[in-house]
Chain A
Amino acid sequence: MKKYDAIVIGAGHNGLTNGAYLAKAGLDVLVVERNAYIGGATVSRELYPDWKYSNCSYVCSLLRPEITRDLELPRHGLQVVPYGGGVTYMENGDHFANYNEHDRQLREISRLSVRDANAYERYEADVMKQTRLIRPFLMRTPPDPTSLKPRDLKELAVLAKAFTEMGETGLADTLRFWTMSIGDYLDEYFETDVLKAHLAGSGIIGTALGVYSPGTAYVLLHHYMGDVDGTVGAWGFARGGMGAVSGALAAAFQGYGGEIRCDANVDQIIVKNGRATGVALKDGTELYADNIVSNLDPKRTFLDIMDAGDLPADVVRKAENFKIRGSSGKLNIALDGLPTFHGMDPKSPLMMGDMHFSDSLERMERAYDDWKDDTWSKDPYLDMLIPSQIDPTMAPPGKHMMTVFVQYAPPKINGRDWTSEDRDAFGKTVIDSIAKYSPDFKDLILHAEVRTPQDIENEVGLTEGNIFMGELTFDQLLFNRPFPGYAQYRGPVKGMYMCSSGSHPGGGVMAAPGANAAREILMDLKLTNTVPGGYADD
């Protein structure tokens, strides 16, 4: 009977990263995956012949550069092509153009309000200050503030030092930023509704909160703290779709001798005498290892594949109370050609960026009200991109692939499961919303994949279809993620670890949780650390 050094459950990007660093340290590692394909929510799928859909995550920025370089992901085929800019189409026929080029951007904002153009410089500097504060902590294990262990005290001191360096008012500003709503935050700077709406999207994406819910300003940071080749805040497309990220990670992992087994659906983590010893698959197979690492979200980990009898009661309660709410859906569309939009030059650089159709905070907040009422937004917030303009591998020549992130969509409709009629109506709502601004859009549609939170849960295994594996609110961040007392990647059972986005620093294709968890495991095994430290570029 073969016994691995470690089994990682789930071949998402964090599971593969975790496996890669363990294998790099010389461990015999197996990654088991429920689906027939790897990647989890980081995939390129051919669901319509000759089209590739990044049908979950769709753009790349957060992936830690330390990991990209250390695992030599470019050598394994990862190429991130930056894109820039974006546009918000307005109901009055105008549009707000968010150019990537600074001077052009300020000219555009000045067109709406000179006051806002001046404020924008202040806004950018202030948000960058918050971004710079958080970045060095992405690749560190959060300290336990209730512990008196030397390592925790040292890490707390590092955290405290970074915060006190902000200065008295700077620190107060940081605390405000972490606790206030994105709507209130933007209201402090700007008077133009469409500008606020354009910027506010980053505060609510993937979050079951509205633009005026406290805590959403921090979520904004989660969309600003990445970089493409050192340009902080920039976003790009992974050439070939997001599957290129998991593909490169898998190649790195296998290069270190790691093994991946697909179609291996874990039923249970086997615990014997208070120690995790292996996994039992749904087909009855048992696999054994000294260390079991779960890349599933905290709810699935503790409530589905572990036995309550093997767990302390507080962990079960904390997992039950963990906030992981589905709030978004997705449409992936194959197009016969490039659609045209009212008032938009097809050759404009804006066509290659994010397109939105919500021109006021009120419309966004009302979209959230629908979610609170257990139904999808009738006037949803959309983040729409046509990546095939930049990455020709996504669709055949002359054809295009469109990805539409949709918010809000609840995990259940009025307490019951989504029906296929619901899904069709949801898809129609989204397509109609876009068609209002694009006369030829509907005629160009060759195929559309509509994904509700329920579909995402069923296919990818994200509870409620929550893309971040748990809400990114302050009560679930840092030493509170996934819950207090368990933020250092160690599970409540010996030999059991967590490496998913449900752990610090949270969701997005960042790979930091996977790497951080590997560092802790290697520390427990008294092996040399293979995980790179955070760059000092901040």
Chain B
Amino acid sequence: MTDYDVIVVGGGHNGLVCSAYLAKSGRKVLVLEANDVPGGAASTREFSPGYSVSGCANWLYQLNPDVVKDLGLRLDYAARDLDTIGLSPDGKHLTISGDVVTSDHLSAKDKAAFGPFQAKMVKFARLLNTAFKRRPPKLVENNIHDRMTLLKLGIDMKLLGKEDMQELLRMALINMYDVMQETFDDELLKSVLALEGVMGSHMGPRSPNTVFGYIYRRLGEVYGFHGPAQVKGGMGVIGTALASAATASGVEVRTGARVASINLKADSAQGVTLTDGTTLTATTVVSNADPKTTFEKLVGFRNIEAGTTRRVSNIRMKGNAAKLHLALDALPDFTGLSGDQLGQRLVIAPSMKYLENAFNHAKYGEFSQAPAMEISIPTVNDPDLAPSGKHVLSATIQFAPYELKAGWNDNKKLFEQICIDVLARYAPDIRSLITVSELLTPADLEAQYNMYGGHWHHGEISLDQIMMMRPFPGATQYATPVDNLYLCGAGAHPGGGVMGLAGRNAAREIIQRGKTA
């Protein structure tokens, strides 16, 4: 008799989603979270007394509506469908709201081209959704479920129409730089969009695959988000809301419980041992941790065969994004922006060349000398995140490689200053307003959120690491080479972003296999 039917290692959003579905199927489920609060990278971080920001992801923009409905989630939004404002040092900004782009200096051609471009990308994202809401199909050893998925994908492809289908085959493989050059004239517009193709990845606008990255982020539009949404209380509220939903379904969520190892017996997962020495047993172990942490640290390479070890080692997941958190005495004055615009998504990526140069450094283990940024001033829409009248600023910074050649310990302050210098180019008074600052490097994100390499997608989202190749060939469909051990995190199909689909799909797979067993 085991202690639990299922133990889920890690209470990130996917782990919690997975546990809730499994509990609803009548299983006795325990979630073990190392941190003191559930949610993993969906976190609210009080980086200075009274000042809070979303510690990892800034916004919610692609949470799957089925997950919301099935789990009965109720989320309070401080703001929805935010605009994206591309900043220009001279104040000549451009604003993207949904499928409309406005700016004083944009050509009529660009304005007219934007809507159809965006619509095409969303159309492709819809096809992606067909694949994403199911387990990745096996192409050779497939069964009826896989064949249904392939058939559905085939039909959806056909329904795109010949022209768009051909366009998809071409575009999914190429880079944002080329597509932007083909489609638009305005450099700022091109680079603001190009940044979306490279967010969170080790890629520049010229890297093939980045159009796929852009389409991936358009899933939000398919799920009813017409721009990022800001959750009231920060992203951590998602963690607590999911934990409550899981608990309501009968899940036991234990925080402050760090798993030291996943225990095997005869190549089959039997349970886990916590760092405090407690050993718990279960019929099934589901890991919400990334595949490298799961196999290298928790299962242990010595317990699995060499081929699997090699495949796990080869997963590319070195984080390249840092987070900058600032406590501010007052709202900064961004050149050319009015007060209410400060609550939108602000982007620093003045040109594709700037972005590419920023990436060049990362290739050689250096941080960008002029980094690109995605900025949120959440207190504009949600004043409770800071003391009255004060503000916080939270920026995602690219590029900052996990393995900095010169070492992060000696260079963290320097990079923080570079980031603030870049900000000051757009908001000249910002330096005088900063009371507390914090930079989280990928190494810090790794330590804080237990993500290998500090990679928030738990593995690069590139064409060689998606679908049946995610997390690695031989471990597709959430099952792994270790019996009774499943993956439910972003490292599994369909990948990162607060979407909830990896957790949901993994639960469905476990339930399905339980029926046939």
Residues of A within 8 A of B (CB): 145-146, 163-164, 166-169, 171-173, 175-176, 179-180, 184, 187-188, 209, 212-215, 314, 320-321, 323, 362, 365-366, 369, 372, 473-476, 479-480, 483-485
Q: B156-182: contact bitstring with A at CB < 8 Å (1 yes, 0 no)? A: 001000110111011111100010001
Majority secondary structure of chain A interface residues (helix, strand, loop or mixed): helix
Closest to B140 in A: A168
**Interface 9-residue window, one of B108-116, B121-129, B204-212, B215-223:** B204-212
Assembly CA distance A173 to B463 (angstroms): 12
Find the A residue at minimum CB distance from B139. A171
- Could you give 21 example pairs across A and B, Cβ below 8 Å? A164-B139, A168-B141, A168-B473, A171-B139, A173-B473, A175-B463, A176-B469, A179-B462, A215-B209, A365-B364, A366-B364, A369-B360, A372-B356, A475-B170, A475-B171, A476-B170, A480-B166, A480-B169, A480-B170, A484-B167, A485-B162
CB distance from A273 to the nearest CB of B (A): 26
Interface check B28, CB cutoff 8 A: no
Q: Contact between B182 and A168 (Cβ–Cβ < 8 Å)? A: no
| B474 lies within 8 A of chain A by Cβ | yes
The answer on a CB contact under 8 Å between A179 and B209 is yes
Checking B140, B173, B363 against A473 with a beta-carbon cut-off of 8 angstroms, the contacting residue is B173
Q: Is the CB of B166 within 8 A of A484?
A: yes
Structural contact, B169 and A484, CB atoms closer than 8 A: yes
When the two chains form their complex, are residues B170 and A484 in contact, meaning their CB atoms are under 8 A apart? yes
Q: Are the C-beta atoms of A172 and B473 separated by less than 8 Å? A: yes
B476 within 8 A of A: yes
Output the residue of B167, B208, B209, B314 with the most chain A CB within 10 A: B208
Contact A485 B462 (CB under 8 A): no
Do the beta carbons of B140 and A167 come within 8 Å of each other?
A: yes
Q: Are A475's CB and B464's CB within 8 A? A: no
CB of B368, distance to nearest CB on chain A (Å): 14
A-chain residues with CB within 8 Å of residue B468 when the two chains form the complex: 168, 172, 175
Asked whether any CB of chain A lies closer than 8 Å to the CB of B138, the reply is yes
Chain B: CB-nearest residue to A476 = B170
Collect the chain B residues with CB atoms within 8 Å of residue A164's CB.
139-140
Contact assessment for A321 and B208 in the assembled complex, using a CB-CB cutoff below 8 Å: no
Whether the Cβ atoms of B207 and A175 lie closer than 8 Å is no
Query: Complex formed: what's the CA distance from A372 to B173 in Å?
Result: 19
A140 to chain B, nearest CB (A): 19
When the two chains form their complex, are residues B139 and A214 in contact, meaning their CB atoms are under 8 A apart? Answer: no
Q: B208 contacts A213, CB within 8 Å?
A: yes
Q: Which residues of chain A have C-beta atoms less than 8 A from B80's C-beta?
A: none
- Residue contact B140 to A323, C-beta cutoff 8 Å: no
Query: Which residues of chain A are near B165, meaning CB under 8 Å?
Result: 146, 484
Chain A contacts for B120, CB-based, 8 A: none
State whether A323 touches B174 (Cβ < 8 A): yes
A473 contacts across to B, CB distance below 8 A: 173-174, 208
CB-CB nearest in chain A for B165? A146
B316 at the interface (CB under 8 A from A): yes
How long is the Cα–Cα vector from A215 to B208 in the complex, in angstroms? 7
**Which B residues touch A212, using CB under 8 A?**
363
Residues of A within 8 A of B363 (CB): 212, 362, 365
Residues in A neighbouring B465, C-beta threshold 8 A: 176
CA–CA, A229 to B173, complex, Å? 35
Cα-based distance from A114 to B163 in the complex (angstroms): 52
Residues of B within 8 A of A172 (CB): 139, 468-469, 473-474, 476
Pairwise interchain contact B170-A214, C-beta atoms closer than 8 A: no
Measured in the bound complex, the distance between the Cα atoms of B330 and A97 in whole Å is 64
Q: Are B207 and A213 in contact (CB under 8 A)?
A: yes
Q: Roughly how many angstroms separate A421 CA and B170 CA in the complex, as a whole number? A: 39
Closest residue on chain A to residue B161 by CB atoms: A146
What are the 6 tightest A-B residue pairs by CB atom distance, in nearest-first order? A484-B166, A172-B473, A475-B173, A179-B463, A180-B464, A176-B464
> Which residue of B140, B163, B207, B310 is within 8 Å of A314 (Cβ)?
B163
Question: Which residue of chain B lies nearest to A146 when distances are taken between CB atoms in the complex?
Answer: B162
CA distance A421 to B162 in the complex (A): 49
Q: Within 8 Å CB of B173, what residues of A?
A: 179, 215, 473-475
Q: How far is the CA of A146 from the CA of B170 in the complex (A)?
A: 14
Given contacts A179-B209, A480-B169, A484-B169, contact A214 B462 (CB under 8 A): yes
Identify 14 new A-B residue pairs, CB closer than 8 A, beyond the known A145-B169, A184-B464, A479-B169: A163-B139, A168-B140, A172-B473, A188-B310, A188-B314, A214-B203, A321-B178, A473-B173, A473-B174, A473-B208, A475-B174, A480-B166, A483-B170, A484-B165
| Chain B 181-225 interface 0/1 with A at a Cβ cutoff of 8 Å (1 = within) | 010000000000000000000010011110000000000000000
**Which residues from A are CB-within-8-Å of B140?**
164, 166-168, 171
CA distance A479 to B463 in the complex (A): 19
- Nearest CB on B from A478, distance (A): 10
B206–A372 touching, CB < 8 Å: yes
Interface residues of B in 473-489 (CB under 8 A from A): 473-474, 476
Q: Which residues of A contact B310 (CB under 8 A)?
A: 188
Residues of B within 8 A of A362 (CB): 363-364
8 Å CB contact of B138 from A168, A187, A213, A479: A168
In whole angstroms, what is the CA distance A188 to B310 when docked? 8
CA distance A211 to B361 in the complex (A): 15
Chain B, range 454-506, C-beta contacts under 8 Å to A: 462-465, 468-469, 473-474, 476
Contact, CB under 8 Å: B174 / A169: no
For the complex, give the distance between the alpha carbons of A166 and B363 in Å. Answer: 33
Q: Which of A169, A180, A323 contacts B474 (CB 8 A)?
A: A169
Q: How far is the CA of A362 from the CA of B364 in the complex (A)?
A: 7
Q: Are A214 and B208 in contact (CB under 8 A)?
A: yes
> Cβ of B174: which chain A residues have Cβ within 8 Å of it?
323, 473, 475
Nearest A residue to B210, CB-CB: A214
Minimum CB–CB distance from A171 to chain B (whole Å) comes to 5
Of the candidates B141, B158, B209, B473, which one forms a contact with A176 in the assembled complex, judged by CB atoms under 8 Å apart? B473
Q: CB-nearest residue of chain A relative to B364?
A: A362
- Chain A residues, Cβ within 8 Å of B364: 362, 365-366
Q: Does B360 lie within 8 Å of A146, measured CB to CB?
A: no
List residues of chain B with CB within 8 A of the CB of A173: 473
Chain A residues lying within 8 Å of B360, measured Cβ to Cβ, are 369, 372
Closest chain A residue, CB of each to CB of B462 = A214
A168 vs B476: C-alpha distance when bound (angstroms): 10
Task: Please indicate which of the listed interface residues A180, A209, A212 has the most CB atoms of chain B within 10 Å of its own CB.
Answer: A180
CB distance from B244 to the nearest CB of A (A): 39
CB contacts (< 8 Å) of A179 on chain B: these are 173, 209, 462-464
Cβ–Cβ contact A323 & B463, under 8 A: no
Most buried by B among A169, A321, A362, A480: A169
Q: How far, in Å, is B206 (CB) from chain A's closest CB? A: 6
Chain B residues within an 8 Å CB radius of A365: 363-364
CA of A320 to CA of B179, assembled, Å? 12
